[in-house]
Structure 1
């Protein structure tokens, strides 16, 4: 503002009073210097030193400089935009009431503030301002930047909304085209199949028709002969005819009787599968899909309450021992109800038991390569194996003695395994088009009523677990860097991808039924909600974490690394 450097409160009508203006560039440097010039282009009062820059810089030489006395005060004061006028009396502010912290004109000082103890002239205190007006300018600049940021955000949101709407329209059009193509393909297939059936059926009917016509001719001919002999023949002729034609007549009658018994009515029809619903049902009944609006807020109290903290308890390195053929490679691990651990060593064909301090207390040699293990009851575990399509059950006593108890034959290649309930397992497959199946404890196999993608995982590229409380299946996909959460009740899924989750491997159900995922590349345990929100990521001091398991009371967690020659097992307390 042009007159921000002038002494405030002067009035042209007061005789004998001389105006003094301060140099505004000097004021910005916290210096008070009397102004000698006024630049109408810069709209500033300036001292001689500051105004000399107009003679140095070419770009400023066109500015109009006049002495302070020649400055048009009226035109300058208007820049205040009436800020220096009292709203009530429209007089210039001359005083400041320090008691009420208010600016006053001469009338305000007499009428409203005569009882106040400290009413001072603005002219006397203006030079003692500790917070120059430039501070207000900085605050306003910050506010302006924030407002502009809000404006940019709103414009971006509007543009994104328009883009989302366009994408929905494109998606619907593409879906319509795909459906139309599907029906066109279906029409071609049905027509071709119907023509084939028609051709085959017509050939069969033509054969029957030809035979029928021949039989009809033969019957008619025999009937005419018999009737002629019966009317006109002698007894001898009648006897000969009866003996001669009886077998032919019997054969004809049998043929025609068979034709009557084998008569078929040919119909052909086409029906949609009962799951396909078409108009005149409402659109919401026959179109699968939802239009969703999602609003994202920073922070979620419930999510914060579910975040876990891991405290290291113990750690051991697993090395080749005297009875091992090769370096150990543990591919499965689970907690027994009493806190012991049971693990399977794939390279050395072993089932091993550890106590709560991660001390080895039991071992059992297996005649096959184990893949994964799950605890079934207090003294029984189940193991998947890489050959012979079997799930084997072992008895693990309280004294850490292990023995084989039974086997159940299956027809699918299974890798990961977990309990669904007290009668069934949820098992992850490999080299199979169905990624997850259900197997009873006696070996009966069946599928979930879920539209899983027709995708086959190779061995050790996927793991699965089951959340009993919400009837959900969780599948990790190592090569896609993705975790899939399938809701069995609604046949829907949540897809989780994040930079914190690279090459997800083992998966387990953690505290508050959150999902814990071993991430191979990021060397971490990532905690995810059932809605797919990442709650926390815990960096591990180990290479290549492969498997994770959680104790029954959700108080402890064990992570197993995977690398031939470097296998590590770490135990953590969960809080």
Structure 2
């Protein structure tokens, strides 16, 4: 606020000096209120004379506490010049600001007053209104001090922000350095882990291959010995001797051929690979979680290589024969075939859940063998030329039965298990894929010795009651097929990648039994559409075949992939049918 620089003073009674009277020094804030109050102090900071009442502002406002105050009588009235630095000039007309418009609260030069404010009611000269302002100087200073304080806060904020920004950037580089160290350690640990695992696997494979080589060399020696013996017999032996040698060696050759053929079918190739995860997981984590990928150590059969890019032809079914299944004299109820599978020679094995039987049918669907079980079987799978495995649900066991060439069925052994199992199919020569009953994980693995373990797959946390789902397994691509009756859905789980394909279609209504076919596709019995649907392992619907039976339940494909068998679950109209499978 501009100060007049002149102290206000008045005489006791008149404008003229009177002898014997002292000059009265007035309080400047009171004078602006048209009050005549004697000044008691002078504030050099405020540049103002003040009475004791106005002086109290110095104790009210903290920023005025340090103002210097002196007795008013010690201050002499004097004139002082003050440089307005052009502030008293009109910006528009460059003339002195001599007037104030009270209507518009605006300072005016003479031109402004005439041109812009001639219609205003109250335009007065600045000297006449200057002493009548109601606002005190200290209010302005308080406002300015407040503004200064806020501006100071902005300055402090910018300084603090600049400093914090530098700290944050430095911290990023420190974190990068730390992460680099963690990653280097992770890969060092990875090398140790992979070295350990591959060394163990390599030793196992080398030992396995050495045994295979030794076995092959023995076969060569045996065959060479038989050839030499045969040559000698045919050169030097009698006709009778030659006949005996020919029959015995032929029998031995057939057995040897079967064994060698089985060995050739099971020649495995050891592979080692490492696939990095798309997102690396950094420590601190568990050891298993720190491994940034999946190490795969496995055996594969040679035919798996030929199935990398499977062909998906549309199959055709041509009916060969059909029979009606009825209750016989020794049956407790109407037949209910809950499991089907083909033996390698083409005979069909069926298990009857209602009547607790294992049955054998020939290629014309004539019953040629029967075995009475002590429980209600759930499913059956052929595990070798003359052996089958049967699940028994609540009995918590898997039975292995031998089926002779003469259709005689005998129990070989029983494996105790801890889970109820329904559907069953082959995973490899020593393991089976089984569907569970009332378990959170719908599909598990069971070994020939009865050991149980889970797939490394994120199955939904859902329990299936008996006869509401079925599973199958595509061996060469490691895919699990799971049908969900109530959801009208078929799931295809990829064991290698832990991914799944969900198959929903109008053709798939109440899916029941599933069976893997050649070239990677599979078949599903759809109960409510009375059909069999062919689906590729990528989830594409390839074809659909309408059946002349109600509620198809179970389906299976022969080992040479030329015949299909299907049974149903319609009370009073139970059928078993064979179809020729073409286009595969």
What TM-score comes out, normalization by structure 1 length? 0.48
Structure with max Cα Rg: 2
